[in-house]
Amino acid sequence: MTFKEYHFKSYINEALNSINFVNPTKVQEIVIPEAISGTSLMVESATGSGKTHAFLLPILENLDEDNKSVQAIILSPTRELAMQLYNVCVELTKHSKKEITVARAIGGVDRESEIKKYEKSQPQIVIGTIGRIVDLAIKTNVLKIHLANTVVIDEADMIFEEKELIEVDKIMGKIQGKPQFLIFSATIPKGLRHFLRKYLENVKTITIKEDNLTTKNIEHYMLQCKAKNKEDVLINLLEIINPFLALIFVNSKEKVDELAMKLAEAGYRVGNLHGALEDRIRKQTIKRIENLEYQYVVASDIAARGIDIQGVSHVINFDLPNDVEFYIHRTGRTARYNKTGYAYSLYAYQDDEYVKMLQSKGLKPTFVKIQNGEIVPAKFYQKKEPSFAKKIEEEVHNKTKMPKKVKPGYKKKRLEEINKKIKKAKKEHINEIYRKKAQKERRTK
Give the pLDDT score at 42: 92
Asked if 43 and 31 count as a contact pair (C-beta separation under 8 A), the reply is yes
Give the C-alpha distances (Å, rounded to integers) separating 288 from 144, 181, 285, 388: 37, 36, 5, 57
DSSP string covering 259-312: HHHHHHHTT--EEEE-TTS-HHHHHHHHHHHHTT--SEEEE-HHHHHTS--TT-
Task: Compute the average pLDDT of residues 95-118.
Answer: 91
Q: CA–CA separation, 117 vs 105, rounded Å?
A: 11
Asked if 314 and 344 count as a contact pair (C-beta separation under 8 A), the reply is yes
Annotated domain spans of the chain:
3-207, 218-377, 388-444
Task: Write 292-295 long-range contacts (CB < 8 A, 24+).
Answer: 292/245, 293/269, 294/245, 294/269, 294/270, 295/243, 295/244, 295/245, 295/246, 295/268, 295/269, 295/270
What CATH code is assigned to 3-207? 3.40.50.300
H-helix or E-strand spanning residue 183: strand 180-185
Asked if 155 and 76 count as a contact pair (C-beta separation under 8 A), the reply is yes
Task: Compute the average pLDDT of residues 420-440.
Answer: 72
Contacts of 46 (CB under 8 A, 6+ apart): 186, 208, 210, 214, 215, 328, 332
| 90-101 tens-digit pLDDT | 999 999 999 999
Residue 78: band (very low, low, confident or very high) from pLDDT cuts 50, 70, 90: confident
Please tell me the least confidently modeled range out of 114-118, 209-213, 418-422: 209-213
H-type alpha helices, 121-269 = 130-134, 162-174, 190-196, 230-241, 253-265
DSSP string covering 78-128: SHHHHHHHHHHHHHHHTT-SS---EEEE-TTS-HHHHHHHHHH---SEEEE
Dihedral angle sign, alpha carbons of residues 88, 94, 95, 98:
positive
Residue 383: band (very low, low, confident or very high) from pLDDT cuts 50, 70, 90: low
> Which of 172, 221, 181, 225 minimizes the C-alpha distance to 201?
181
Q: CA–CA separation, 321 vs 200, rounded Å?
A: 31
Give the pLDDT score at 63: 98
Give the pLDDT score at 238: 97
Q: CA–CA separation, 255 vs 319, rounded Å?
A: 10
Is pLDDT above 60 for 211? no
Indicate the fold that domain 218-377 takes in CATH: Rossmann fold (3.40.50)
Query: Three-class SS of residue 247?
Result: strand
374: β partners? 371
Contacts of 105 (CB under 8 A, 6+ apart): 82, 114, 126, 127, 128, 129, 132, 133, 136, 143
Residue 60: band (very low, low, confident or very high) from pLDDT cuts 50, 70, 90: very high
Task: Compute the average pLDDT of residues 160-183.
Answer: 86
Query: Three-class SS of residue 422?
Result: helix
Q: CA–CA separation, 347 vs 364, rounded Å?
A: 15
Q: CA–CA separation, 434 vs 443, rounded Å?
A: 14
Please tell me which residue, 30 or 21, carries the higher pLDDT value: 30
Contacts of 374 (CB under 8 A, 6+ apart): 240
Q: CA–CA separation, 445 vs 437, rounded Å?
A: 13
Give the pLDDT score at 282: 86
Is pLDDT above 60 for 388? no
Residue 174: band (very low, low, confident or very high) from pLDDT cuts 50, 70, 90: very high
Is pLDDT above 90 for 84? no
Contacts of 157 (CB under 8 A, 6+ apart): 185, 186, 187, 188, 189, 192, 325
